[in-house]
Amino acid sequence: AQKVTQAQTEISVVEKEDVTLDCVYETRDTTYYLFWYKQPPSGELVFLIRRNSFDEQNEISGRYSWNFQKSTSSFNFTITASQVVDSAVYFCALSEVISNFGNEKLTFGTGTRLTIIP
């Protein structure tokens, strides 16, 4: 079965430090998607990024960057120069095909609570 492991339950860093959130996954599918979501204190999950299993290029969006390594089944997320507004729970997720028509669902990790200390 699909599995997503986020070994870091909680992380605290001082503002402006860099921080990396780890994500390791297991899948039998040859084609899949990986995601990161942010859940701020308000509760709504906010989509951050989607990565296709065939595309191992790293991606950067402002202070956020993602490192996808298929050889180690990892999809890590780095925040550079962290800010207090980055405080949230971050979830990594993996797609899985669930029907003969190709419909998919997401399997989530247990999340990492990130606290940025001012």
Partner 1 sequence: DVKVTQSSRYLVKRTGEKVFLECVQDMDHENMFWYRQDPGLGLRLIYFSYDVKMKEKGDIPEGYSVSREKKERFSLILESASTNQTSMYLCAGNRGRSLGNSPLHFGNGTRLTVT
If one asks whether residue 47 binds partner 1 (CB under 8 A), the answer comes out as: yes
**Nearer Cβ to partner 1 (75/109):** 109
**Nearer Cβ to partner 1 (5/80):** 5
CA atoms within 13 A on the CB side of 108: 12
Size of the site for partner 1 (CB under 8 A): 29
If one asks whether residue 27 binds partner 1 (CB under 8 A), the answer comes out as: no
- Report whether 97 contacts 103 (CB < 8 A): yes
- For partner 1, the binding residues in 87-116 under the rule CB under 8 A are 91, 93, 95, 98-99, 101-111
Instruction: Give me the phi and psi of 70, to 5 degrees please.
Output: -65, -35
- Report whether 58 contacts 64 (CB < 8 A): no
Helix, strand or coil for residue 84?
helix
Chain residues in the site for partner 1 (CB under 8 A):
4, 6, 9, 33, 35, 37, 42-45, 47, 50, 52, 91, 93, 95, 98-99, 101-111
